[in-house]
């Protein structure tokens, strides 16, 4: 069983940067694909980025070139580096674990974190 805890959210001005962390516990962490989702009131949850157990990454078009997902299996941690932030990036960000990137994209999530708030002001 994997348990996830997000951190690193906060308030930042447009054009600024934040790094989110997703700390995991559980011996099976390194075998999981991880996705970062974000959700804004009145809008459906959006998959922002995914990373496979081997480090293959994919991004939503809305964040491509600005966000970078990475993982450090030795620390059981996944990161989301967010640069050139825009007000539209304001949301609660969640990390989620699945057996593969395909399952994460499909919404077949095994474990969810509690979320961390990101607010980008203009």
Question: How does pLDDT run across 34-83, given as a tens digit for each residue?
Answer: 999 999 988 899 999 999 989 999 999 999 999 999 999 888 899 999 99
- Rounded to whole angstroms, the Cα distance separating 69 from 56 reads 10
pLDDT at 87 over 70: yes
- Rounded to whole angstroms, the Cα distance separating 94 from 102 reads 18
- Rounded to whole angstroms, the Cα distance separating 103 from 47 reads 12
Sheet with 18-25: strands ordered across: 3-7, 18-25, 77-82, 67-72
Which CA distances in Å does 15 have to 76, 86, 110, 119?
29, 6, 34, 12
**77, 30 contact by CB (below 8 A):** no
State residue 27's pLDDT score.
65
């Amino acid at each position: 069983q994997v348990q996830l805890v997000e951190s690193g959210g906060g308030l930042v001005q447009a054009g600024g940067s934040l790094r989110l962390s997703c700390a995991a516990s559980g011996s099976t962490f390194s075998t999981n694909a991880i996705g970062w989702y974000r959700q804004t009131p009145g809008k459906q949850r959006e998959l922002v980025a995914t990373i496979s157990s081997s480090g293959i990454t994919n991004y939503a078009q809305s964040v491509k070139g600005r966000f970078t997902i990475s993982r450090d299996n030795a620390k059981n941690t996944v990161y989301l580096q967010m640069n050139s932030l825009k007000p539209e990036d304001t949301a609660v960000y969640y990390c989620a674990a699945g057996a593969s990137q395909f399952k994460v994209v499909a919404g077949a999530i095994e474990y969810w974190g509690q979320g961390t708030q990101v607010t980008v002001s203009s």
